[in-house]
Amino acid sequence: MTQQVKAAPSKRFFVSMLTRDIDLKDSILDLLDNCVDGVLRKTKHLDKSKERPYDGYWAKISASPERFIIEDNCGGISLDIAIDEAFVLGRENIGRDIDIPTVGMYGIGMKRAMFKMGRHSIVKSRHKQDHYVVEIPPEWLADNEDWNLDLSPYDIEFEQDGTVIEIRELYDEIAIQFDNDERPFLDNLKNDIERFYSVILKKGFKVYLNNEEISPYSLDVLFPTDFSIDTIPPYAYQAEVNGVLIDINVGFYRPLATEQELEDETGVARSSKNAGWTVICNDRVVVHRDTSAMTGWGIGIIPKFHNQFIAIAGAVHFSTENNPINLPLNTTKRGLDTSSPVYWHAIHYMQEGLRKFIDFTNDWKGREKEAEIQNRFSNTKFVESTAIALSIPTDTI
């Protein structure tokens, strides 16, 4: 006689495994990703002709040892999605956002963040005529049979469509991170948001951390003001692979290191933090100022990064409006899938660009030439990396 055996997951085990491989910072950044994705779902397609297409949208984070709150005005969660998808542990409808340039793929970010931080979560949202609240109380985790949650109408005093997520009863190891007198976590989180959301912040989106507005980190490189003289134009490359647009730019972000700088190891270490590759997927920075083999350094004809190359910086932009699954992202969205065919294509041209500026640096190093080379850099200005390809005369690329 055929009998059925139990194959359902244990709720505690599932939640434990879901949160084990992500740290606190990344779980908070996942929630910020959801805010930005909300803007994209609301607008469908950002007007790329605008310098600041995210103007008017914001996310506010409040973190203390008692509770964590993130709220936004990014469109809210529709009632249909809340009932059928938003609280499911994993997305069944992978193609839901196929025409929106998001980075969300798996549908676990919000739940993973809530379970990572505390025992009690409350989600309130307004989307057009829908106003509701969903609560995940501590008792939910203890009941292994019932995986459903209660959604109730709620009179939310929102001025705009948006969402508020509040997490209470924080775990001890989380609560202490939100006490800046004990740990520097919140300062580090601020720095990470500056870097990883630098493109989006420059495009008008605002993020507040405990009432402090966060400013974007610069991704500028030096750009010649006059191409008629002997100058050092950045390298630019553009292509489309598997439906993903690739935009590669690399150049000098500062004058070359002097002999005196190279002898001063402390100064060089400080300056080298701004060198290397920044990798961006649909406006989110995934890798920031990397100088490892992951971005082509020390592979093939490219030497390992050395202090004499501290002036070289580049940015790679991957973008798609078809399906984020094609982006070279790992499952945490904070690291690269270096086996991706899209990334394999890009890294060849990243190295080609690096070679140009490595050779230039090697040719000009030496104390006797420093005055001449510094004079060359006087005929440059700072340009945002996203604008480089459009600014270089085609006969110099």
Q: Contact 106/96 with Cβ under 8 angstroms? A: no
Q: 101: pLDDT confidence band, cut at 50, 70 and 90?
A: low
Buried (b) or exposed (e) across 331-362, using 16+ Cβ within 10 A? Answer: ebbbebeeebebbebbbebbbbbbbbbbebbe
Kind of pairing between the strands at 58-63 and 206-209: parallel
DSSP for 162-207, written as a single string: EEEEEEEEE-HHHHGGG-TTT--HHHHHHHHHHHHTHHHHHTT-EE
d(CA 317, CA 199): 10
What's the CATH code, domain 11-213?
Answer: 3.30.565.10
The CATH fold of domain 220-396: Ribosomal Protein S5; domain 2 (3.30.230)
Per the model's pLDDT, the better-predicted residue between 377 and 212 turns out to be 212
Q: 395: pLDDT confidence band, cut at 50, 70 and 90?
A: very low
Token pair, residue 5, equals 């055996």
User: What pLDDT sits at residue 46?
Assistant: 73
Residue 311 is classified by DSSP as T
3-state secondary structure of 322: coil
Residue with tokens 């933090």: 273
Domain boundaries, the chain: 11-213, 220-396
Is a pLDDT exceeding 50 seen at residue 397?
no
Note the pLDDT tens digit of each residue in 165-192.
999 999 999 999 999 777 799 999 999 9
Average of pLDDT values for 102-128? 84
Q: What is the average pLDDT value for the chain, to the nearest integer?
A: 83
